[in-house]
Amino acid sequence: MKTYDVVGVGNALVDVLSHCEDAFLAETGIEKGIMQLIDAGRAVELYGAMGPAQEISGGSAANTIAGLAMLGARTAYVGKVKDDQLGAIFAHDLRAMGAVYETPLAPKSLAEHETGRCMVLVTPDGERSMSTYLGVSESLGPDDVDPEMCAGAAWLYLEGYRFDGAASVAAFDKAIRATKGAGGRVSITLSDPFCVNRHREAFRKLIADHTDLLFANEHELMALYETDDLEIAMARVSGDVEIAAVTVGARGAHVVTPSGRSHVPTAATKVVDATGAGDLFAAGFLAGLAQGRDLAHCASMGCVAAGEVISHVGARPEADLGTLMKERGLWAR
Amino acid sequence: MKTYDVVGVGNALVDVLSHCEDAFLAETGIEKGIMQLIDAGRAVELYGAMGPAQEISGGSAANTIAGLAMLGARTAYVGKVKDDQLGAIFAHDLRAMGAVYETPLAPKSLAEHETGRCMVLVTPDGERSMSTYLGVSESLGPDDVDPEMCAGAAWLYLEGYRFDGAASVAAFDKAIRATKGAGGRVSITLSDPFCVNRHREAFRKLIADHTDLLFANEHELMALYETDDLEIAMARVSGDVEIAAVTVGARGAHVVTPSGRSHVPTAATKVVDATGAGDLFAAGFLAGLAQGRDLAHCASMGCVAAGEVISHVGARPEADLGTLMKERGLWAR
């Protein structure tokens, strides 16, 4: 048996969550509903303009790993923080969920950057608009990837946002080789349509060459295949990967395989803060795979986990996900 | 007209909020429902044992000032953080509410201490148990008090917890002299029955000599007068101060003056997290005084503000307090 059900690789970030009206987004030049990369200067400027906030550990793949750990999966995470207070918060919150987290810290002496953070502005409709200062998370490179850890993974889980770092492709390659070389499989999430537009060729190559399981929402999948027709995009992806899990917001999720397609609905949930919806869908789905469930069951577990995280502020689960799965008959452990 | 409705002095802290079962308190030796001071070593040990947390600016008097600022009062705050990430978070969250905050930062070079923090463990009944590492907030001294700021205050608001710092009495004295010398008045909150037990004589002297308005809950007031009879304690306090605002949990609050006593009830509220209840009661009460309301009206405003803050995690208000006051007919601005 493998040591880990899932090893995740991503941008290690602390979320700075604040509420605002739509007018504030317009005034500060923030595009609604997406993730924009910002530099340190813009981070200071934007933080100064924002209202009071709360800090909760985030990072897309780290949110997924936290959800998986809560669901009893054996997990590890690879992502870079600094030896500073926000870095200590990030590491604590992940380890406290039961995940293994051993990526070397960027040293205090590295003056130019701090632990990365994502300023999340939540509008009254529950939509989140993210401005990310990557900080030291951007510098994650091959030296941070432990091949032995990846060789112990049943599934590797790669965060698409990580393509924004210069040494990312090399780090991903090393992790993929170690995982596949030991018989593990590779999953990736597209993260964001604009991220897909920035790195479409790299994504396509990674998907065609190495990906067994693709996570995407409808907008990301259409961006990948440069179409505005979801049907066309789903037809295309079925030729590229063994499994594609495609979320369609409140309408649930499609599971697309070369042999066909299934759809699962979501339960009605009030959206308080959409941050982490895709991350927790992936957590529920991968937890299902770790338990040997069929794909539709995995997608239902994903929808339940996503429904929990959008019901409160912050991208980490608060209610016990295992209990929620049991209440919906999705859990037999 | 005075520059400030209220100038607050207190321990500047960031709250580290986490949920736990009662058994965790027993295992880690935390006494339920009170605030215990801990050193840096114990802080590391306890944080390592805690589950995932979220960080929200706190500090008792700072919570009061944040609530007052939200209610349109002109406010300033005096309390010490360091030039570190948690210090920046604290300063941001206070200024973003509209409060003036200019206390000099403890420098980065001060290696032995960081910005203070309060580990708040919330049990399923909504009660909070606090373990506070004071860090640099403990070192607030007379040099940090700007006499001109205090002279501009209609009300000075002193946090009882501050008696735990060595230079506190001198800092309080300086602030009181400056405030009273310019015709302002002095209020103080007892903060915690154990804090009262640690510093009873200093509290009594301050109350007898300088205090116009005393905030206390029933347990703190009984500790002050070393009695287990609230009636006796309220009779005693009416001889010591012009106004005593005494909260009695879900039963509301008493306002005690030399000429008599009135009682106001609370609205029923589900207690999600009791952190900040007393702080926000004081905010509502002082906001009423700033608007020239009678004392029973002030106490009702205090109960509404306290009811908001216990309805969610964290000690800073989330819903607009002015709107809540309007809905209850307590607001005419």
What is the per-residue pLDDT across A257-305, written as a single tens digit (0 to 9) for each? 999 999 999 977 888 888 999 999 999 999 999 999 999 999 999 999 9
Closest CA to B118 of B140, B90, B98: B90
Mean pLDDT of chain B: 95
Closest CA to A156 of A17, A9, A320: A9
Please report residues of A whose CB lies closer than 8 A to that of B66. Answer: 52
Assigned CATH topology for domain A4-12+59-109+136-327:
UDP-N-acetylmuramoyl-L-alanine:D-glutamate ligase (3.40.1190)
pLDDT over 90, % of chain A: 91
Cβ contact (<8 Å) for A53 and B114?
A: no
Residue recorded with tokens 């649930």: A252
Q: Greatest CA separation found in chain B? A: 54
Range scoring the smallest mean pLDDT among A83-97, A317-331, B90-104, B209-223: A317-331
Mean pLDDT in residue range B285-309:
97
> CB-CB: which of A84, A85, A96 is closest to B52?
A96
Q: Listing from the earlier edge strand, what are the strands of the sheet with A100-101?
A: A100-101, A75-78, A4-9, A153-159, A185-189, A213-217, A243-247, A253-257, A260-264
pLDDT in tens, A24-54: 999 999 999 999 999 999 999 999 999 999 9
Please report, for residues A67, A70, A301, A321, B293, the alpha-carbon distance to residue A324 in angstroms, rounded to integers and kept in the order given.
12, 12, 9, 5, 48
Q: Supply A272's token pair.
A: 């308080």
Cβ contact (<8 Å) for A52 and B93?
A: yes
On whether the CB atoms of residues B75 and B98 are closer than 8 A, the answer is yes
Please report residues of B whose CB lies closer than 8 A to that of A92. Answer: 47-48, 50, 52-53
> Pick the catalytic residue: B5, B192, B273, B279?
B279
Q: Is B84 on the interface with A (CB under 8 A)?
A: yes
| Burial bucket for residue A37 (CB in 10 Å: 0-12, 13-18, 19+) | middle
Cβ contact (<8 Å) for A55 and B52?
A: no
pLDDT at residue A149, as a whole number:
98
pLDDT over 70, % of chain A: 99
pLDDT at residue B267, as a whole number:
80
pLDDT in tens, B180-207: 999 999 999 999 999 999 999 999 999 9
> CB-CB: which of A47, A54, A84 is closest to B56?
A54
B interface test, pick of A21, A70, A89 with most B CB neighbours within 10 Å: A89
Q: Supply B244's token pair.
A: 């005593």
Of the pLDDT bands very low, low, confident and very high (cuts 50, 70, 90), residue B163 is: confident
CA–CA separation, A93 vs A99, rounded Å?
9
> CB-CB: which of B47, B96, B316 is closest to A92?
B47
Provide the phi-psi class of A83: left if phi over 0, else alpha when psi is between -120 and 50, else beta.
Answer: beta
In the CATH scheme, what is the homologous superfamily, with its name and number, of domain B4-12+59-101+135-327?
Ribokinase (3.40.1190.20)
DSSP secondary structure letters along A241-299? -SEEEEE-GGG-EEEEETTEEEEEPPPP---S--TTHHHHHHHHHHHHHHTT--HHHHH
Cβ atoms within 10 Å of A98's Cβ, excluding its own: 15
Of the pLDDT bands very low, low, confident and very high (cuts 50, 70, 90), residue B331 is: confident
Beta bridge partners of A16: A55, A119
Q: Are strands B185-189 and A243-247 parallel, antiparallel or unpaired?
A: unpaired
- Look at B55 and B268; give whichever has higher pLDDT: B55
Q: Which residues contact A231 (CB under 8 A, 6 or more apart)?
A: none
Q: Are strands A4-9 and A75-78 parallel, antiparallel or unpaired?
A: parallel
Of the pLDDT bands very low, low, confident and very high (cuts 50, 70, 90), residue A112 is: confident
Residue B228 has pLDDT above 60, yes or no: yes
How far out from the chain centre does Cα A264 lie?
Answer: 21
Q: What is the phi/psi pair of residue B146, to 5°? A: -90, 110
Please report residues of A whose CB lies closer than 8 A to that of B85. Answer: 84-86, 114-115
pLDDT at residue A161, as a whole number:
92
pLDDT at residue A102, as a whole number:
97
Please report residues of B whose CB lies closer than 8 A to that of A52. Answer: 57, 66, 92-94, 96-97, 316
Closest CA to A261 of A289, A233, A234: A234
CA–CA separation, B48 vs A69, rounded Å?
17
Residue in B with minimal Cα distance to A117 = B85
- Look at A230 and A267; give whichever has higher pLDDT: A230
H or E, element range at A319: none
CA–CA separation, A232 vs A222, rounded Å?
8
Question: pTM to 2 decimals?
Answer: 0.95
Of the pLDDT bands very low, low, confident and very high (cuts 50, 70, 90), residue A327 is: very high
Residue A199 has pLDDT above 60, yes or no: yes
pLDDT at residue A332, as a whole number:
63
Residue in B with minimal Cα distance to A55 = B55
Q: Return the number of CB contacts < 8 Å for A and B.
A: 60
| Entry field: residues in chain A | 333
On whether the CB atoms of residues A84 and A16 are closer than 8 A, the answer is no
Instruction: Write down the ipTM of this complex.
Output: 0.93
The amino acid occupying position A310 is I
CA–CA separation, B261 vs B239, rounded Å?
13
Q: What is the phi/psi pair of residue A36, to 5°? A: -115, 135
Residue in A with minimal Cα distance to B51 = A96
On whether the CB atoms of residues A179 and A7 are closer than 8 A, the answer is yes
Residue B332 has pLDDT above 80, yes or no: no
Please report residues of B whose CB lies closer than 8 A to that of A53. Answer: 89, 92-93, 96
CA–CA separation, B99 vs A282, rounded Å?
42
Please report residues of A whose CB lies closer than 8 A to that of B93. Answer: 52-53
Q: Is B125 a catalytic residue?
A: no
Cβ contact (<8 Å) for A53 and B93?
A: yes
pLDDT at residue A333, as a whole number:
57
- Decide: helix, strand or coil at residue B112: coil
CA–CA separation, A7 vs A158, rounded Å?
9
Of the pLDDT bands very low, low, confident and very high (cuts 50, 70, 90), residue B333 is: low
Roughly what angle, to the nearest 10 degrees, separates helices A85-95 and A60-70?
A: 30
Which A residues 40-69 touch B at CB under 8 Å?
Answer: 47-48, 50-57, 66
H or E, element range at A21: none
pLDDT in tens, B89-138: 999 999 999 999 999 999 888 878 999 999 999 999 999 999 999 999 99
Beta bridge partners of B36: B131
Catalytic residues of A, which ones?
A: 279
Residue A163 has pLDDT above 90, yes or no: no
Cβ contact (<8 Å) for B52 and A85?
A: no
pLDDT at residue A165, as a whole number:
78
pLDDT at residue A270, as a whole number:
85
Which B residues 287-316 touch A at CB under 8 Å?
Answer: 314, 316
On whether the CB atoms of residues A101 and A64 are closer than 8 A, the answer is no
